[in-house]
Amino acid sequence: MGGAARGVGEGRGRGGGGRRWRAVMAAGDGDVKLGTLGSGSESSNDGGSESPGGAGAAAEGGGWAAAALALLTGGGEMLLNVALVALMLLGAYRLWVRWGRRGLGAGAGAGEESPAASLPRMKKRDFSLEQLRQYDGSRNPRILLAVNGKVFDVTKGSKFYGPAGPYGIFAGRDASRGLATFCLDKDALRDEYDDLSDLNAVQMESVREWEMQFKEKYDYVGRLLKPGEEPSEYTDEEDTKDHNKQD
């Protein structure tokens, strides 16, 4: 009988441990099985019996632990979701800063008139070097330059020939030598009249080609005067005729 009682007690102990393990596993899944923990009396590890009240207390403690674990698990997932949403919003903001502002800047610039659009067409006249230098885009919004003795209004090409343009060095100056020698330094500019007599045949041919290109694209407004040369008088009819040819 004593052996049988011990066997039954051990069996109950093993059975109680199995039930407690199932309960813990269930609690880990977020489903607290209080009925399993509180069903009848169970044997303790030393073979003694636990009262139903003690089992209920253990079940209640296990329930709180499971609830806390579930809360921590759910809270971690929530924090992860919040972090992912924050990263997505940050990425969207950076894209807006990078591309949205560009679009706004382009829209603002599209509504502004270029200097050429706001200036009337220049009447035909001749220029000395000193007069030509006044039209460099900084002292005067109109930009002129000379090529092979011809003066052109390049205001509509201000992004190239304006003060901040890559060829701004030619604004208000005789650009013939610089264009012929492909030089953008101040050495290509002369403060006095440049007759280009030291250029070779290939360079002079390049000057004439540049002259033709400027005639096709920009308004021809007059001649660059040699020292002591008097300016020509142009009638309105001649001025209109020249402009019609260019149009």
Quote the CA–CA distance of 48 and 5 in Å, as a whole number: 12
- Please give the residue that has the higher pLDDT: either 202 or 76: 202
- At residue 116 the predicted structure's pLDDT band, cuts being 50, 70 and 90, is low
3-class state of residue 189 by DSSP: coil
On the 0-12 / 13-18 / 19+ scale of CB atoms within 10 A, 153 is: buried
Q: How far is CA 5 from the centre of its chain?
A: 83
User: pLDDT at residue 47 above 90?
Assistant: no
* Contact status, residue 236 vs residue 243, Cβ threshold 8 Å: no
Question: Tell me: the pLDDT tens digits for 130-161?
Answer: 999 999 999 889 999 999 999 999 999 999 99
Q: Stretch 26-34: mean pLDDT, rounded?
A: 42
Quote the CA–CA distance of 201 and 205 in Å, as a whole number: 6
pLDDT at 23: 40
Give the pair of three-digit tokens for residue 186: 């101040």
CATH class, 118-221 region = alpha beta
Average per-residue pLDDT in the chain? 72
User: pLDDT at residue 24 above 60?
Assistant: no
pLDDT at 122: 93
2-28 vs 52-95: helix crossing angle, rounded to 10: 20
- Please give the residue that has the higher pLDDT: either 27 or 156: 156
* Contact status, residue 172 vs residue 134, Cβ threshold 8 Å: yes
* Contact status, residue 153 vs residue 222, Cβ threshold 8 Å: no
Do strands 49-50 and 144-147 pair parallel, antiparallel, or not at all (unpaired)? unpaired
CA angle 165, 168, 173 (to 5 degrees): 160
pLDDT at 110: 39
CA atoms within 13 A on the CB side of 84: 6
3-class state of residue 233 by DSSP: coil
Element (H, E) at 220: strand 219-223
On the 0-12 / 13-18 / 19+ scale of CB atoms within 10 A, 98 is: exposed
Give the pair of three-digit tokens for residue 212: 């033709």
pLDDT at 95: 61
User: pLDDT at residue 225 above 50?
Assistant: yes
Q: Stretch 211-224: mean pLDDT, rounded?
A: 96
User: pLDDT at residue 104 above 70?
Assistant: no
Q: Stretch 118-129: mean pLDDT, rounded?
A: 93
* Contact status, residue 129 vs residue 193, Cβ threshold 8 Å: yes
pLDDT at 32: 39
pLDDT at 186: 85
Q: Stretch 5-29: mean pLDDT, rounded?
A: 43
- At residue 179 the predicted structure's pLDDT band, cuts being 50, 70 and 90, is very high
- At residue 14 the predicted structure's pLDDT band, cuts being 50, 70 and 90, is very low
The structural domains of the chain, with segments of one domain joined by +, span 118-221
* Contact status, residue 198 vs residue 188, Cβ threshold 8 Å: no
- At residue 63 the predicted structure's pLDDT band, cuts being 50, 70 and 90, is low
- Please give the residue that has the higher pLDDT: either 88 or 123: 123
Q: Using only C-alpha atoms, what is the Rg of the chain?
A: 47
